[in-house]
Chain A
Amino acid sequence: MDSGLLLQIAFGGLATGAIYALVALGFNVVFKSTDAINFAQGEWVMAGGMVAAWIHQQFAWPLLALVPLAVVCVAVLGLVSERLSVYPLSQPSPMSITLVTIGFAIATKALVMLVLGKHPMSLPSFSGVEPIQIAGASLQPQALWIVGLLLATMAGVHFFFERTLLGRAMKAAAADREAAALVGINVPRTVMWSFVIAAGTGALAGIIITPITLTSFNAGTVLGFKGFSAAMLGGLGNLPGALVGGLLLGLLESFSAAFISSKYKDAVAFIVLLGLLFFRPSGLFGRAHVQKI
């Protein structure tokens, strides 16, 4: 097998993996602040792509205006969902929050279908479709955008959690709810922001993949599924883990599609995942959680 082809497979894997990583990031942020699995993550990814494609179709705005607008729309959707359903819970627990997110995931999917329609929609590539040739492999320019935006988002999120007051308050609340509340941090507010960040980054993932794969109202489940797997692979709640887990899952899929069978690529990815779960349950980078009783 020549190196050009290998490189080609690796590029494909990295581009898909970058999307998974962005989706995984959202899972991790919500998991950190609530210990719940946010089932709506995939639907927000889909909603991002759909809203952007719809704005493009209706108003033909330039990408520079359309992308931020779609991200903000979905972030607001995340905020409203959290305020209407997670915030008023009388006995919030990881289980009840997870169940509530299933509820608004289904509602989000239904709303997108009812408002924006059932047809698959598309966006133009951000900078043309002329493939770039690198060492015998041809690369779609959109893939570069995806990887670049992933890295920029990761850096931005890292900066947010390490350097800004709100980010550090969120970290504190995630580490110890009661202690954070005692020093004056509004813990429910940090939960709200985690949903906003998850929705926004998810929407971005949905927008940048739409030029390659198209999108439709039922695309969210699969993306959420893969993003969640990526988050598990890197260790739930671990932000850098999302990056590595996503890229790894993407590579795993593209190589197993190339060398084993494209039909079984999902199965191969999940078997590796189950194996990891059995032998290293806290993910590749998660630290084992030792609990004293």
Chain B
Amino acid sequence: MHAQISAATYRGLGILWLLLVALPWVMPNSYWLNLATLWLTNLLLIASLNLLMGYSGQISLAHGAFYGIGAYVSGVLSAKYGVSPWVGLPVALVATGIVAFIVGWPTLRLRGHYLAMATLGFNAIASVLFVELRDWTGGPNGLVNIPPYAIFGLKLDSDRAFYFLALVAVGIAMLLLLNLLDSRTGRALRALSTAEVGAECMGVNVHKYKILVFVVSAMLAALAGCLYAHHNAFISPESFDFMSSTMLVVMVALGGTGHWWGAFIGALIYTVLPELLRSFGDLELLVYGVSLVLVLLFFPRGLGGALDLLRERVLRLWGRLRAGKGAP
């Protein structure tokens, strides 16, 4: 846990994004490109939930709902009222932030499972509203005809154009997350995730920081929701239900709770595994369940933690080999 943010982390993010910019030319196939786009939105969802779970030590079961509020606010504004998606985006972010603040304020003061309970209830309420506010959301059949983003009248509805939009948006968001963790706030968060009482004694306003993390993570989920809604042109309530919130928690744990690169792995699994298992159909759920248990048993710090161990071992072996060679 408590990934150390260093210059290498920034460098890694930069290199990854450079590689991703080249992707459309390496893999011109639109299937792969759409998968990469999906990976980017999933990364945003999982990295933001990871921020919360890793640094406040609490599980939120409403990440799917925040994702959904972002998608529906921006989607409904543009599909039903003709508001530009560029205006819908900040509105959706602010609305989600306010809702998260209202849910988080009373519960984050308490230690224990209260956030899990409140968010579980909250996701249920959000799911009912997505279905029942039919005039706005289109009910169980979903909201259709959501317009794409456009720049100067040029619609970003091709796979490639949207990929670049997602790359920029998610890139900015990831950089923002990295900066947050690397700042005074980040140090306070790290302190509070290791020793909450100690942090409080040193003058860290624990409640304030927990709220901050919760609201920021909800707003990033809403950003993912906006991207999803305007790319897919269609949203329906089951994408944002309790099950999807649970799956996001699972992916954070698989990648490694509080591990910076863990979110990348979690997002990769979440995006690719369903595609790989498509031919096996019904086995998908079983594989998810069993692999979660196995990863938690053998790598309590998730696959990200497992990779750290592997890297350490390789480096040590490398060092020993070089030492052996250098000896006369």
* Same assembly: yes
Binding site for B on A (CB under 8 A): 35, 37, 39, 84-85, 88-91, 94-96, 98-100, 102-111, 113-114, 221, 225, 228-229, 232, 236, 263-264, 266-267, 270-271, 273-274, 277-278, 281, 289, 291, 293
- Name the 5 nearest CB pairs between A and B, nearest first: A107-B289, A106-B289, A103-B292, A110-B286, A110-B285
Interface of A is mostly: helix
* Contact indicator B297/A88 (Cβ below 8 Å): yes
- Residues of the B chain whose Cβ atoms lie less than 8 Å from the Cβ of A113: 282, 285
Ordered by A's residue number, 19 sampled pairs between the chains whose C-beta atoms are within 8 Å are A37-B113, A37-B116, A85-B296, A90-B297, A95-B57, A99-B250, A99-B253, A99-B296, A100-B296, A104-B293, A107-B286, A107-B289, A221-B243, A229-B121, A270-B121, A277-B117, A278-B106, A278-B107, A281-B107
User: Would you call B282 and A114 a contact (CB within 8 A)?
Assistant: yes
Report the interface size for chain B: residues with CB under 8 A from the other chain.
44
B interface residue numbers (CB < 8 A to A) = 57, 59, 103, 106-107, 110-114, 116-118, 120-122, 124-125, 128-129, 131-132, 197, 242-243, 246, 249-250, 253, 257, 282-286, 288-293, 296-297, 300
* Residue numbers in B under 8 Å from A91 (CB-CB): 300
Instruction: Return chain B residues, CB-CB under 8 Å to A103.
Output: 250, 289-293, 296
A89 CB contacts on chain B under 8 angstroms: 296-297, 300
Do A107 and B290 touch (CB < 8 A)? yes
Q: Which residues of A contact B118 (CB under 8 A)?
A: 274, 277-278
- The smallest beta-carbon distance between B46 and chain A, in angstroms, is 14
User: Are B300 and A107 within 8 A (Cβ)?
Assistant: no
Residues of A contacting B286 in the complex (Cβ-Cβ under 8 angstroms) = 106-107, 110-111, 114
Task: Out of A105, A264, A274, name the residue touching B289 (CB < 8 Å).
Answer: A105
Q: A281 vs B115: C-alpha distance in the bound complex, in angstroms?
A: 11
B242 to A: closest C-beta gap in Å:
7
Evaluate contact between B124 and A270: CB separation under 8 angstroms. yes
B117:A85 contact, CB within 8 angstroms: no
Find chain B residues with CB under 8 A from A228 CB. 117, 120
Q: Which residues of B lie under 8 Å from residue A94 when comparing CB positions? A: 113
Give Cα distance in the complex from A37 to B57, angstroms: 14
**B124 to A232, Cβ gap below 8 A?**
no
Is there an interface contact between A106 and B57, defined as CB atoms closer than 8 Å?
no
Indicate which residue in A35, A95, A106, A266 contacts B59 across the interface (CB closer than 8 Å).
Answer: A95
Which chain A residues border B57 with CB–CB below 8 Å?
95
Residues on B with C-beta less than 8 A from A98 are: 59, 116
Q: State how many angstroms separate the Cβ of A84 from the closest Cβ of chain B.
A: 8
Q: Which residues of A contact B129 (CB under 8 A)?
A: 267
CA–CA, A90 to B128, complex, Å? 40
